Amino acid sequence: MTKPPVLILGARSDIGKAVAHKFAAIGHPIQLAARNAPALESDKTDMGLRYGVSVSLHEFDALAVDTHEAFVAALPELPQIAVCAVGLMGQQADNERDLAAAARVMRSNYEGPASILAILANHFEERGNGSIVGISSVAGDRGRATNYVYGSAKAGFTAFLSGLRNRLATRGVHVVTVLPGFVATQMTEGMDLPARLTAEPGEVAEAIARAVERKKDVIYVRPIWRLIMLIIRNIPERIFKRMKI
């Protein structure tokens, strides 16, 4: 039996590619969507040969929200599963002083992902089934001095996914919020990350595939992050504001 297609938004990212490989490996046709999509031609060929599935490339700019409706309409087939791996961390110091840089981080992590997933959600709701996966961040669980611009956008995205899940719960559409914690990717290259708390992109992909299959709502890729963020969320504000974390 032919499996339904999976759309990967932000397919040039390390996590996006890992997720694409995971779903291709279990037989799903893959739609790779990203800016400069032709740069994924070698990935398309590799996945097609390796897994024997059809792979298509689609130009997609998360920040060009006025193009999102047309993007979905142009897909060769409405996907059964849509995974949004779009994101931009930026540098907190730059974001504090450069409003354009801050706006780009906010739009890349909230406005763009929310826009495209809202459109897909409407199509999935009309059809009566489908799974939406949004990759958010533990950074959105509480604003911290060291990354509050990025964290605030992820907090908004997490809330958006929660509301979307609540709205679609009786409409046949499943929404997953993914909170990876640290992940060893190009975005975190050069950062001194603790090994016990740092996942590999393939680990995130495995967790996403399981969450879709088991209809999970919110997942922390490494369970220890659930405890860590529970503690951080419950530190009294008078103490927390003196901490440099």
Indicate the SS3 state at residue 234.
coil
Return phi, psi of residue 204, to 5°: -65, -40
How far apart CA 210 and CA 64 sit, in angstroms, is 31
Indicate the SS3 state at residue 226.
helix
Measured CA distances, 174 to 164, 170, 215, 222 (Å): 9, 9, 7, 22
Q: Which of 51, 110, 148, 150 is catalytic?
A: 150
Return phi, psi of residue 66, to 5°: -70, -10
Sign of the alpha-carbon dihedral angle for 67, 86, 114, 83: positive
Helix, strand, coil share of the chain (percent; to 5): 55, 15, 30
220 is catalytic: no
Q: Which residues are catalytic?
A: 150
